Chain A
Amino acid sequence: MAFPHRPDAPELPDFSMLKRLARDQLIYLLEQLPGKKDLFIEADLMSPLDRIANVSILKQHEVDKLYKVENKPALSSSEQLCFLVRPRIKNMRYIASLVNADKLAGRTRKYKVIFSPQKFYACEMVLEEEGIYGDVSCDEWAFSLLPLDVDLLSMELPEFFRDYFLEGDQRWINTVAQALHLLSTLYGPFPNCYGIGRCAKMAYELWRNLEEEEDGETKGRRPEIGHIFLLDRDVDFVTALCSQVVYEGLVDDTFRIKCGSVDFGPEVTSSDKSLKVLLNAEDKVFNEIRNEHFSNVFGFLSQKARNLQAQYDRRRGMDIKQMKNFVSQELKGLKQEHRLLSLHIGACESIMKKKTKQDFQELIKTEHALLEGFNIRESTSYIEEHIDRQVSPIESLRLMCLLSITENGLIPKDYRSLKTQYLQSYGPEHLLTFSNLRRAGLLTEQAPGDTLTAVESKVSKLVTDKAAGKITDAFSSLAKRSNFRAISKKLNLIPRVDGEYDLKVPRDMAYVFSGAYVPLSCRIIEQVLERRSWQGLDEVVRLLNCSDFAFTDMTKEDKASSESLRLILVVFLGGCTFSEISALRFLGREKGYRFIFLTTAVTNSARLMEAMSEVKA
């Protein structure tokens, strides 16, 4: 249970400094607007803000009332309004409507907009167009790294995925580069860099530019983290689309972990209250089961329950003095453990109920068949039935995408028929969702041969060879073949197991998917770290359509300690799942590394599908 780290495992750097930095910067910005003020906060920023500050800190800096930014007129009577928002057009329009309403009423107030993590020119343009540029002052709160756990940093930017992988907008690349720059300023340079994916490469180049411009800042510092690995989400969509069966992933799939905490409803707390619970390494019970396959969790919890019982029972034979000791020293810890234990037991029960109801076993069976590539017909009819019965639209979409990516696209006949049935079951407007999924390469139709699209060939005729090369490149990034089968074979993603795969004693990273599949993303990372390069992986890289986007950069760094060389920062551009985190934690324990995760957001299959969905639930 709960594999301990090897005794030689390196210590993790202390990331709590990032929280202090963000808080101090926010305070500084609030002080830029002296006096009493009302603060309007964007909903998506509330949870991250909660993790680094609280109401009394805001009050100390003369924040009077707090409001949520929403599409309603503000009732604030304050003379100063401060807006804390993501750089989004709709926020600008909201602020403009407030300011313009004030102007119309002949009212003058002070307005300040704080953009987090940065300001976009498009936002300023809207302020200008709405005639309020100059009436509001703008600032940036570069809060882009939130430590959710000792080894997990999140940028809390779920929109990164859609903006880049669907729309091709590179607006967040600079944010990523800035975040990496901050990390190297705080924790020293990274002697070994690896990456795969178009976005990874761009982020890396921009980051390098930043470092060069501010030359010298990280020079002379001892590196604390020996390796950094950047990876685009579209290098491996498959893993992110699978149902999760390690505890933390399952909790995320079932209850949605938001910003490191989860809302357990009455069905879990077995009371009439909901409870917001932080899930991280500090929760001793959770920490021991988070990376476990769900089937192991029960055994662990019941063992824990028995131990707890025994510890309470000890009080029976105690005399007064012993009892006093017990109460003052142990009771509090036991109570805490008791509470956590009953919460997680409640969560397990609720998960079991939900999963049994939705025929989870059948679902997993279909997923495994898709991953292994047999019985495609049967899986297709399973998906069809899912759609016909109007089972969750997101689930149906996810299964279709999994089928498409593992099969290099759907056969045209299946594509048409599944799409028609989907539109009939969930609404015709999902036509738009299908168009999005096709553009992102998540759900495609098998095309006869690799013919150029009409636009592509038209464009190619228009331009010189060099530019045409660039264009074809740009196109292929949008609609590329996934080659999953070939990659799976090359990297041995489906373990050949004779006899039973013992989930209690995992032998490889496949345990996070019940022994059926090694997450592709994690396998790539493992292979590259082993080789310290992409050498020998050319074929895989080509199959991943990343021939131009796989890179290594090693600096001769003799200052790096052997301990730091076993610390690896993995950067997921477009989101990572808890299953991937668990798999890499496992790999780390096996090899004596420790991984640190930096992700644009924690994601799962449902979030990916929702991001592609045109119809908001």
Chain B
Amino acid sequence: MMNRTKGDEEEYWNSSKFKAFTFDDEDDELSQLKESKRAVNSLRDFVDDDDDDDLERVSWSGEPVGSISWSIKETAGNSSSSHEGREQLKSRNSFSSYAQLPKPTSTYSLSSFFRGRTRPGSFQSLSDALSDTPAKSYAPELGRPKGEYRDYSNDWSPSDTVRRLRKGKVCSLERFRSLQDKLQLLEEAVSMHDGNVITAVLIFLKRTLSKEILFRELEVRQVALRHLIHFLKEIGDQKLLLDLFRFLDRTEELALSHYREHLNIQDPDKRKEFLKTCIGLPFSAEDSAHIQDHYTLLERQIIIEANDRHLESAGQTEIFRKHPRKASILNMPLVTTLFYSCFYHYTEAEGTFSSPVNLKKTFKIPDKQYVLTALAARAKLRAWNDVDALFTTKNWLGYTKKRAPIGFHRVVEILHKNNAPVQTCRDLKDRQQLLAYRSKVDKGSAEEEKIDALLSSSQIRWKN
């Protein structure tokens, strides 16, 4: 399969197998669809929209009126609005609108069953508490909130203990004092597979063992170890987590875990300083470079942001006046930063931090990526000369040549999106591109005529 030849592939893609359906064009299917839509719409006059009984009524936010989600938004959104109208709306019950659902008509409610049972209260009898036979109902133990069970025995074996824990019963672990008992408890929990119980035992172990002993024992118990790591992440005990990774010699995880913290720092300068502390961490060689880049990027962004905010508010610079910035450049990806720089700082000398060329060099942005981004930015500004220049290179004899490191159809797409004049394509002396462009413009439009004229012109020496 790997060695299919090009011919094979073409045949494959042109074979009838996949021709059944395309998303590309306004083909038969779509027109069929449009026709159906017209047909259905034409029936509108007859079927007016006055009754809402079979489809639900929906509030402005899109929630069905009377549904719980809707009602919550109401509580959140109002403090003094008219109560009456809302009550009226609320009385419309979302079930009536979800007509498909069975109505809540259970003739007897299970809850009425349970009401008869005495709530286990303060005078709960011992036998009651110890009886392990669950209620033989469809919903076991419903009659009694599990939290209210008390453990009156001290003699549960490790396996009985984990079984009780699994049932959600309060169960004292204090009697497992020797290391051997603790580990046996842990092994029982692991062999039962319930992660909640494993974590419960780990919480106890973490409290009653020194961290060196705990780490040492977990190193050879990977399932339990993963539970501890996840638990520490969740409760945010970063310090112990880092200690654990250090102990385990998992240097990369240690580094990543530390790095993750930057996401919680909002202030750009503080974030930058934090990233600086990440640079020396034991990442893989490849990731070290990414971390360094992250730091450098934010450092640049802070400088550019301060500078541009100043320029913009001074109101002296044309580009900022004409195209006010929509958002801050802080914490944006590199490619977005490059776009920004191509948009606002295109002509700047390489020496300035905000110049595109400087960014390209600092972050070793590949040609392809650079051209694509610059093209998008300059086309958006309709700076067609810049677009043209992007594809012009001089060879060693000083002759100029047109060259695009990216696919023509992408160039055309970007140009078309920005309503580039046909001339730009002509200047590229790119017949293929022009043909592609022709397929994008409206049939019979002035553009099409112009393209046709150009294509048939004998004056142009097409490069393809």
Contact = CB atoms under 8 A, between A and B. Distances in A.
B194 interface: yes
A424 B37 contact: no
A23 interface: yes
Interface stretch (A189-197, A454-462, A542-550, A590-598): A454-462
A254 interface: no
A135 B146 CA distance: 16
Interface string A35-60: 00000010000110111011111100
Interface in B1-27: 1-4, 9, 13, 16-24
Contact of B196 (A50, A118, A312, A503): A118
Contacts of A51: 101
Contacts of A122: 196, 199-200, 203, 231, 234-235
A454 B93 CA distance: 61
A428 interface: yes
A345 B407 contact: no
Find the residue from B3, B40, B42, B227 having the highest chain A CB count within 10 A: B40
A137 B46 contact: no
Nearest to A69: B72
Contacts of B47: 334-335, 338-339
A1 interface: no
Interface in B260-288: 260, 262-263, 286-287
Contacts of A107: none
A341 B104 contact: no
Interface stretch (A275-283, A533-541, A576-584): A275-283
A286 to B, nearest CB: 11
A126 interface: yes
B223 to A, nearest CB: 6
A125 B219 CA distance: 24
A125 B198 contact: no
B110 interface: yes
A137 B147 contact: yes
A301 B366 CA distance: 48
Interface stretch (A228-236, A292-300, A556-564, A601-609): A292-300
A501 interface: yes
Contact of B55 (A16, A275, A293): A275
A276 B64 contact: yes
B309 interface: no
B203 A125 contact: yes
A356 B27 CA distance: 12
A361 B93 contact: no
A373 interface: yes
A508 to B, nearest CB: 14
B287 A306 contact: no
Interface in A157-200: 163, 167-174, 182, 185-186
B149 to A, nearest CB: 12
Contacts of B291: 428, 431
Interface in B49-86: 51, 54-56, 58, 60-64, 66-69, 71-73, 75-76, 79
Interface string A416-431: 1001110111111101
Contact of A68 (B72, B194, B262): B72
Interface string B107-140: 0011100110001000000000000001010111
Interface stretch (A385-393, A396-404, A517-525): A385-393
B195 A301 contact: no
A118 B168 contact: yes
Contact of B230 (A168, A214, A349): A168
B100 A280 contact: yes
Contact of B259 (A41, A65, A431): A431
B67 A119 contact: no
Nearest to B256: A435
B318 interface: no
A375 interface: yes
Contacts of B91: 56
B345 interface: no
Contacts of A213: 163
Contacts of A339: 47, 54-55
A423 B293 CA distance: 10
A58 B71 CA distance: 11
A139 B20 contact: no
A25 B112 CA distance: 10
A169 B229 CA distance: 9
Contacts of B198: 170
A529 interface: no
Given A54-B68, A173-B194, A295-B29, A428 B293 contact: yes
Nearest to B295: A428
21 contacts: A20-B110, A24-B109, A24-B110, A55-B68, A56-B93, A121-B196, A122-B231, A138-B145, A167-B230, A168-B223, A173-B194, A206-B194, A295-B29, A312-B43, A374-B2, A385-B410, A419-B286, A431-B287, A432-B259, A432-B260, A471-B222
Interface of A: 16, 19-21, 23-25, 27-28, 31-32, 41, 46-47, 49-51, 53-58, 65-68, 75, 89, 118-122, 125-126, 137-140, 142, 163, 167-174, 182, 185-186, 202-203, 205-206, 209, 213-214, 217, 263, 273-278, 280, 282-283, 293-295, 298-299, 301-302, 304-306, 308-309, 312, 332, 334-336, 338-339, 341-342, 345-346, 348-349, 352, 355-356, 360-361, 364-365, 368, 372-376, 385, 388-390, 416, 419-421, 423-429, 431-432, 435, 454-455, 458-459, 462-463, 467, 470-471, 474-475, 497, 499-503, 514-516, 614-615
Given A341-B36, A375-B4, A470-B222, 11 more contacts: A31-B115, A50-B94, A121-B196, A139-B147, A170-B194, A171-B196, A174-B195, A205-B193, A305-B40, A424-B365, A431-B259
Enumerate the 5 nearest inter-chain pairs by beta-carbon distance, A residue then B residue, closest first: A170-B195, A282-B100, A295-B21, A168-B226, A171-B195
